[in-house]
Amino acid sequence: MTLSLRERIQGVPAALQDQAELNAVITDTSAQALGGLDAAPEGPLAGLLLGIKDNLNFAGTATSCASRTLEGYISTYTATAVRRLLDAGGQIVVKTNMDEFAMGSSTEYSCFGPTRNPHDPELVPGGSSGGSAVAVATELVDAALGSDTGGSVRQPAAFCGIFGLKPTYGRVSRFGLVAFASSFDQIGVFARNTAMASTVYQTIAGHDAADSTSSTEPVKPFDYDEHLARSLKVGLFPDAELAGTDPQIMDRYNALIKFLKGKGLPVAQIEMPHTRHGIAAYYVLTTAEASSNLARFDGIRYGRRLQEKPDLESLYRGTRSDGFGPEVQRRIMLGTYVLSAGYMDKYYIQAQRVRRSIQEDYKAAFSEVDILLTPTTPTFPFLIGSQTDDPMSMYLSDIFTVPMSLAGVPSMSIPVGNGNNNLPIGLQLTANYFGEDAIFQLSQLIENQFSA
Ligand code: GLN
């Protein structure tokens, strides 16, 4: 029996109850979607149920960023990417759980409690867009938006066994996305196959006058062409860069390389001399940007405010200490420190130099190859609670996703089967700036022919 669109939307509250344990959703917006369902929707996303991460503004809905700071805040406007989903006929039925202000790799740092991995509820789903990844993996929705600053779409996609694309920096308007680190943030897409990922991507990509960093470069269409896919040159990171990766993930990685060679794709080793400094540079630059971006949450303009404070200074202090969780506070302090007089040159300026060197590494690599192949994560999903007391080990979860974010190049995690533990493995395809179409070509070839 096929359900009508109306029936599918009506089924969302019950579906949410069924998977309540996973805690993937913060707000059920299905009633709002139903209310707007007069005529049959038209457009490339007509008939699709969609989720959006709770740091995307959608007029009339609560936007919390999973932070107590934004308790009670209702969006007064709609993000451009969200508007484009609606204009294309999509139905937004849920706003999804996340790490507070998108800071984290596990969706445990949420004031609404952790999201759980559908493959094993004892494990994290990855983060920070864990709720969107879970909503897609469990088929609650057909596709979802997340945001990726250093891996927050790709890493949870890998941990949940789905596709997760971070577009080129500037490819998708950030208007209406609550800022974490503005020179890194990109809205990305979760889907269960390449075609869906590319359709949603095509819908949200493209210039927007409301975001001056959004690119005017035309969006390239994607039509799968096996011949073209097989002509792409694939580059591999030096083995030393992958040391420490789980052997089962390396097995799938090596099997994929073998498959691609068998299909006749040229495969070459490339040098990435600076990526090993990626994590250090990322956590200096993004915390610096975050410390500035989050200054606006002072209890005056948005959300929660601690009452009965004698003066403005203690009102700010009280509100921010009470409203922000520990990870966000850690990042604000770190970011303030690296920007402070006497340390700015040593940390912030130095990290900028590393960022430039990493960009040069990618430029050099893409003069030789079309796609870089890496694992998405060094490990399988970890146990809930196992890394929250050890921020450094949590940060290392992003070792393979952060370099692309520093460079601003597009990158997608694709599922390539499971380990012996039945947990999903993701590998990452990275292309040159605005090379999303090349990523989709190769992804489709792998999806069609690389057996899990
Ligand atoms: N896990 C990374 C961090 O904590 C990436 C987060 C993101 O991409 N939003 O910063």
Every domain of the chain and the residues it spans:
5-204, 226-272+365-449, 280-344
CA 452, CA 448: separation in Å to the nearest integer? 11
The active-site residue out of 75, 128, 397, 411 is 128
Q: Active-site residue 128, yes or no?
A: yes
State mean pLDDT over 24-43.
Answer: 93
178 alpha carbon – ligand 1 mean position (Å): 14
The active-site residue out of 30, 64, 147, 152 is 152
State mean pLDDT over 426-448.
Answer: 98
Tell the CATH topology of 226-272+365-449. D-Maltodextrin-Binding Protein; domain 2 (3.40.190)
State mean pLDDT over 23-36.
Answer: 96
Residue 452 has pLDDT above 70, yes or no: no
Per-residue DSSP letters for 140-186? SSSEEEEEESSSTTHHHHHHHTSEEEEPPTTSB--TTBPPSSTTT-E
* Nearest ligand 1 atom to alpha carbon 127: 1
For the chain, the helix, strand and coil percentages under 3-state DSSP, each to the nearest 5: 40, 15, 45
User: Which residue, 139, 201, 234, 114, is CA-closest to 440?
Assistant: 201
Name the least confident of 144-153, 344-353, 393-402. 393-402
* Nearest ligand 1 atom to alpha carbon 181: 9
pLDDT at 1: 67
Asked whether the bond before 128 is cis by omega within 30 degrees of 0, the reply is yes
Distances (CA, A) of 272 to 75, 360, 362, 411: 42, 9, 8, 16
Residue 217 has pLDDT above 70, yes or no: yes
129 alpha carbon – ligand 1 mean position (Å): 9
Mean pLDDT of the residues in the chain = 95
Which of 55, 105, 154 best tests ligand 1's pocket when mutated (most atoms within 8 Å of CB)? 105
63 alpha carbon – ligand 1 mean position (Å): 19
Q: Provide, rounded to the nearest whole percent, the portion of the chain with pLDDT above 70.
A: 99
Distances (CA, A) of 333 to 28, 66, 100, 286, 349: 34, 20, 16, 12, 18
* Nearest ligand 1 atom to alpha carbon 153: 8
State mean pLDDT over 86-109.
Answer: 98
* Nearest ligand 1 atom to alpha carbon 103: 4
Among protein residues, the one with the nearest Cα to ligand 1's atom 4 is: 104
Among protein residues, the one with the nearest Cα to ligand 1's atom 5 is: 150
pLDDT at 254: 97
Which residue has tokens 């949410």?
16
CA 117, CA 450: separation in Å to the nearest integer? 25
185 alpha carbon – ligand 1 mean position (Å): 9
Residue 303 has pLDDT above 80, yes or no: no
Number of Cβ within 10 Å of residue 85's Cβ equals: 27
118 alpha carbon – ligand 1 mean position (Å): 21
12 alpha carbon – ligand 1 mean position (Å): 29
Among protein residues, the one with the nearest Cα to ligand 1's atom 10 is: 103
Distances (CA, A) of 40 to 34, 89, 91, 319, 358: 11, 9, 11, 46, 48
Which of 149, 159, 331 best tests ligand 1's pocket when mutated (most atoms within 8 Å of CB)? 149
DSSP 76: S
The active-site residue out of 30, 53, 173, 443 is 53
Alpha-carbon Rg for the chain in angstroms: 21
CA 266, CA 143: separation in Å to the nearest integer? 32
What is the torsional sign of CA 241, 246, 251, 256?
negative
| CATH class assigned to 5-204 | alpha beta
User: Which residue, 389, 385, 386, 429, is CA-closest to 410?
Assistant: 429
127 alpha carbon – ligand 1 mean position (Å): 7
Which of 53, 65, 101, 103 best tests ligand 1's pocket when mutated (most atoms within 8 Å of CB)? 103
State mean pLDDT over 203-218.
Answer: 97
Q: Provide, rounded to the nearest whole percent, the portion of the chain with pLDDT above 90.
A: 87
Q: Which residues line ligand 1 (CB under 6 A)?
A: 102-105, 128, 147-152, 180, 286, 398
What is the torsional sign of CA 21, 24, 26, 30?
negative
SS (H, E, C) 215-228: CCCCCCCCCCCHHH
State mean pLDDT over 326-337.
Answer: 96
pLDDT at 391: 83
CA 67, CA 103: separation in Å to the nearest integer? 11
* Nearest ligand 1 atom to alpha carbon 405: 8
- Enumerate residues 6+ apart whose C-beta is below 8 A from 303: 67, 69, 70, 71, 72, 73, 297, 323
| Type of residue found at 451 | S
